[in-house]
Amino acid sequence: MIKLGHRGYSAKYPENTMEAFIKAYEVGFDGIETDVQMSKDGELVLIHDEKINRTSHGKGYVKDYTFKELREFNFCYKAEGFYSIPTLEELLLFIKGKKFFVNLEIKTDHIQYLDIEKKVVEMVHRIGVEKQILYSSFYLNSVIKLKQLDPQAYVGYLIEKQYDVKRALLNEYHITAFHPKYSYLTLKRVQELKQSKIKIATWTVPNLKEYKRLKEWGVDIIISNDIF
Ligand code: G3P
Ligand code: CA
């Protein structure tokens, strides 16, 4: 089973910062999960929300700032010190040559950034870390595009509602990895997915009790803020 730090080691460090990613590596996670969005001038940046309000001292949409402007804000989110918004490139260069996975969630469920899937896949291949990357998205079109752009890649479909409807879409679009919220998983559902040879990644596992239960059931990937 693979353990991924959700937005890095976000239980202890400001989410989606290089510090949170590096500490996740040092503490023994097998990799991290992070969220990809795009600046006004097309830079791929790692931040969960479409707006910078919650995690920085600034206000407004990521898409309305140039990368240079985004770098001016402090993404300290409840911590002391200065934390810059990271780029996808910085993260990929950090993992290159290490035994460390990255689950790149393409954040297109609210804003469909032009060609973001293509830009991400091209960068992953240019840096040469494709074997370490697991893609995912809540937005079905992105999942389909990612599979077309890189047929060898791991591409997961994220869901937080409508389990049965979304489960049916996996067959229709030949999607072989499912990323449901942990509370949606029952033993019966896990068994059914495993029988169908579908990889299961689940989030955001909140405590040791849930972690042990999901591990026993044979879930492939656990995404959590803290390490258990
Ligand atoms: O990829 C798992 C999880 O991160 C999806 O939900 O809202 O935390 O991006 P969210
Ligand atoms: Ca995410």
Cβ atoms of 186 and 216 closer than 8 Å: no
- pLDDT score of 75: 98
- pLDDT score of 164: 96
52 Cα–ligand 2 center, Å: 15
Query: Alpha-carbon distance 208 to 201, whole Å?
Result: 16
Q: Which atom of ligand 1 is nearest to the CA of 138?
A: 5
Q: Which residues contact 177 (CB under 8 A, 6 or more apart)?
A: 134, 136, 154, 155, 156, 157, 198, 199, 200, 201
Contacts by residues 196-202 (CB-CB < 8 Å, ≥ 24 positions apart): 198/170, 199/154, 199/156, 201/4, 201/103, 201/134, 201/136, 201/156, 201/177
178 Cα–ligand 1 center, Å: 13
Closest listed residue to residue 33, CA positions, set 208, 184, 224, 173: 224
- pLDDT score of 225: 98
190 Cα–ligand 1 center, Å: 19
179 is catalytic: no
- pLDDT score of 189: 98
Beta-bridge partners for 76: none
- pLDDT score of 93: 98
Other Cβ atoms within 10 Å of 49 Cβ, number: 17
Q: Which atom of ligand 1 is nearest to the CA of 48?
A: 9
Q: Which of 4, 35, 143 most suits a substitution to test ligand 1, by most atoms within 8 Å of the C-beta?
A: 35
Q: 19 in helix, strand or coil?
A: helix
- pLDDT score of 77: 84
Structure tokens at 161: 């509602």
CATH says 2-38+88-224 is which class? alpha beta
Tens digits of pLDDT across the chain (228 residues): 999 999 999 999 999 999 999 999 999 999 999 999 999 999 999 999 999 999 999 999 999 999 999 999 999 988 999 999 999 999 999 999 999 999 999 999 999 999 999 999 999 999 999 999 999 999 999 999 999 999 999 999 999 999 999 999 999 999 999 999 999 999 999 999 999 999 999 999 999 999 999 999 999 999 999 999
Q: Which residues line ligand 1 (CB under 6 A)?
A: 6, 33, 35, 48, 105, 136, 158, 179, 203, 223
110 is catalytic: no
- pLDDT score of 226: 98
